[in-house]
Amino acid sequence: MVTTMKRQKREEGGDSVLLHGLKEDPDFRHVESRLLVSCPAGGADEGGLFYLDFEKNEMKKLYAGTCSGMAWAGERLIVATDDNHILALDRRFRLVSKTKHRKLDFHGVSGWSDSHALIVETATNTVGCYEVETFRRTGEIRFHASDKDVLHLNDIWLHGHTLYVSMFSPYDRWYLDPTGKHGAIVAVDLTDFRPDGSLVVEPAEHVVTGGLYMPHTVTVRDGRLAYCDSMTFRAVVEGDGNHGTSIRLPGFTRGLAFADRTIFIGQSRMRHVLRIPHEFSNCSLDGGIYVYHPEYRISRFVPLPAQQVYQILVVDAEPSPGG
């Protein structure tokens, strides 16, 4: 069932604006985006899939339960969950199907075609290819021979025939040095890949950006690679030479999306506070989204009723009345 959260009354009277009154802020009144935000479970927080409408100052919970990566494949929104399910929603965000799978530790999702989707299987260092109608696994891209998580694949983004993959380490056994900056984005040419095929990749030979600290979300904006370097509390948009943009926030970054004149960056509660880099004197544990104005280099924070943010999508459609 869809849960709607709108304006809430203050005890003294008047309105408390749920999305923090961006319409009343002269620097952010242009923001009218609609977002989908997937949230994994964290502690007592069940997670979920949220819809935010900045024009209407409205937030809706579309699905209750732990959610990670999501992407469109044809007319279906494919959502992976931390508890080994794959969800399919229609264009009005109504649940169409839900299938249970073996323990693969699903993370990122990317549409491959109208009929197939790619889903990160972190537990086995693979990206599986699934039929959208049945969620039958038809093929895979394998990044390591082991079926134990030694690379910790996170997110994926398909740009043309190139698949970008973020991971904690492209070399092996990332967990032996979890505080080391061994993370990377790798790029794999999928020109000859078929949904029912198998491709073996040596990730260390395909690194396009290295020296990262637990990177997550990866995407391409106007031909430029963008990603969350999560444990350095940054979102990065690469440019030519030293002309890229590095956006430093006060907490763990995960979730990144773009609209006209606006960048949306997710922030999650740190699960392992003892790993907070010593270079930072403070780490925010708030879960929510930063609405960032790249021209002025300013932001507003919109808290969510969730501790964790995984992915953010800008969408055009509105939820169907009644869910």
> Is the Cα torsion angle 242, 204, 249, 175 positive or negative in sign?
negative
Looking up tokens 């169907």 gives 320
pLDDT at 2: 61
Task: Write the pLDDT tens digit of every residue in 174-193.
Answer: 888 877 899 999 999 999 99
Residue 176 has what pLDDT? 84
Q: Residues 80-133: pLDDT tens digits?
A: 999 999 999 999 999 999 999 999 999 999 999 999 999 999 999 999 999 999
Q: What is the mean pLDDT of each run of 10 residues along the chain (323 residues)?
A: 50 48 88 97 90 93 97 98 96 97 98 98 98 97 97 98 98 83 97 97 98 97 96 92 86 97 96 77 94 96 96 91 61
Q: What is the DSSP letter of 295?
A: T
The pTM is what? 0.92
Distance CA 253, CA 29 (A): 24
- The pLDDT value recorded for residue 117 is 98
Instruction: Please check whether residue 148 is in contact with residue 174, taking contact to mean a CB–CB distance below 8 angstroms.
Output: no
Q: For 174, what's the count of Cα atoms within 13 Å in the CB-facing half-sphere?
A: 27
- Tell the residue number behind the tokens 């699960």, with chain if given: 271
Largest CA distance in the chain: 64
Question: Distance (Å, rounded) from C-alpha 106 to C-alpha 257?
Answer: 20
Q: Return the structure tokens found at 194.
A: 């078929």
Q: What are the backbone dihedrals phi and psi of residue 66, each rounded to the nearest 5 degrees, phi first?
A: -65, 130
Domain residue extents for the chain: 68-212
| pLDDT at site 7 | 46
Cα(first)–Cα(last) distance of the chain, in Å?
Answer: 6
The pair phi, psi for residue 175, each rounded to 5°, is: -70, -15
The number of beta carbons lying within 10 Å of the beta carbon of residue 302 is 19
Residue 88, strand partner residues: 78, 97
DSSP state, residue 260: T
Cα 235–chain centre separation = 12
pLDDT at 11: 36
Q: Are strands 198-200 and 137-142 parallel, antiparallel or unpaired?
A: parallel
Q: Looking at 132-169, which runs of residues are DSSP E strands?
A: 137-142, 153-159, 162-167
> Strand 76-80's sheet: what is its strand order?
70-73, 76-80, 85-89, 95-100
Please check whether residue 88 is in contact with residue 78, taking contact to mean a CB–CB distance below 8 angstroms: yes
The CATH-assigned architecture of domain 68-212 is: 7 Propeller (2.130)
DSSP summary character for residue 320: P
Q: How far apart are CA 34 and CA 14, in angstroms?
A: 25
